[in-house]
Structure 1
């Protein structure tokens, strides 16, 4: 028997996260599962080669983590007031590694995520997060193409 008690939903705060959210809620309700939203901020390794200095990084890190927490709380208030069995985590590092590591550490049963988030040069430089999560996840991953969702 398949038990899904913990669902992980990676969020990047784009419109595409909002489009995937009804599926997350549907599966969570169907399985009476807990939802954890996760947002991963790129860590200092992503900026190697830039001559920015350590003082810049510590200031940037603090601001981006605080901004991410505020964005997550706003996202939850705006979109998840109707679901109570929920929490969130903001992490820093390699996005794919952090999502998969968190899923293993917390015993996540299912990851639900969009196939598309940010676009343009950022996607070309950093590659597909969904593809990396699917390839390395220790649990099932349900991917949803937000551009194929009928409104």
Structure 2
């Protein structure tokens, strides 16, 4: 791990993410790219070029001043920090910065949303999760230690979920005490019997690992939604981190089908790591 991106808006949640990134950076001798997005509103975009230039310069200066104060923290001592200010309109373009800078992970703070706000407005974190091609770690609280000991990995034993599973094991198996692989069985057309689930799991681990040692860590949970099942299991077994593969659905597919990963990110109080399928 060489570069960590932390998008900030100078909020308390941003600082939770920055503290987490600092601990991770010290362990891996990594650089933190602290990113602030100047979201230019529609009114500004319709202004004349000279007027828009004046506004941009004004907001850049304010952001630079806030950066200096925000980054003046003891926990950032001996950490390589690179402040970046972009005047994009939408947070989905954080992925562009990640690709440009060859970042390994994005760490974001989040308030979480619910109800009407979640459906029609969403959150900047949601947009990043939906569009990012690299892992996104979402935190909502101060994490005293990033030595995640108990991890819950959501898995449906499909071919698509194999790469996220393999990446998660490689990333964490040497530093955690337990990785639970959890499948949520739903009461709809996706319901499968215990025998069917067992067969899918055996086939999955034979292809992914070449053995069945991980079968002892598999749990089948019955619930009405995948996110409810994952969150209930995680709370019951004292998880430190939830890992969610995501398709990153966009447009109408996202609106009508939703994204399980985004639902978990919104409703979980635990840190959530999303991995693009």
TM-score with structure 2 setting the length: 0.45
Larger Rg: 2
Please report how far the alpha carbon of residue 62 of structure 1 lies from its aligned counterpart in structure 2 after TM superposition: 1.3
2:213 match: none
Please report how far the alpha carbon of residue 125 of structure 1 lies from its aligned counterpart in structure 2 after TM superposition: 8.0
2:59 match: 64
| Partner SS for 2:72 | helix
Does residue 114 of the first structure (1) align with residue 145 of the second (2)? Answer: no
Given that 2:25 and 2:32 are in contact with CA atoms closer than 8 Å, whether structure 1 keeps it comes out as yes
Q: 1:24 aligns with which of 21, 24, 46?
A: 21
Structure 2, unaligned stretches of length 5 or more?
A: 113-117, 143-268, 271-277
Matches within 5 A, 1:35-114: 35-43=32-40, 46-48=41-43, 53-54=47-48, 55-78=50-73, 81-114=76-109
Please report how far the alpha carbon of residue 58 of structure 1 lies from its aligned counterpart in structure 2 after TM superposition: 2.8
Task: Tell me which moved more, 71-80 or 6-15.
Answer: 71-80
1:133 match: 128
2:203 match: none
Structure 1, unaligned stretches of length 5 or more?
A: 118-122
Given that 2:5 and 2:106 are in contact with CA atoms closer than 8 Å, whether structure 1 keeps it comes out as yes
Query: Residue deviations 1:87-137, cap 9 Å, x none?
Result: 1100001332331100011110010011229xxxxx998631111111111
Query: Residue deviations 1:26-67, cap 9 Å, x none?
Result: 111122211110000012xx324x797425433221110111
> For the aligned residues, what is the CA RMSD?
2.8
Structure 1 residues 116 and 92, CA gap change in structure 2 (3 angstroms): same
2:10 match: 13
Please report how far the alpha carbon of residue 20 of structure 1 lies from its aligned counterpart in structure 2 after TM superposition: 2.6
d(CA) in 1 for partners of 2:77, 2:51: 40
Please report how far the alpha carbon of residue 80 of structure 1 lies from its aligned counterpart in structure 2 after TM superposition: 5.2
Given that 2:94 and 2:128 are in contact with CA atoms closer than 8 Å, whether structure 1 keeps it comes out as yes
1:120 match: none
d(CA) in 1 for partners of 2:14, 2:100: 23
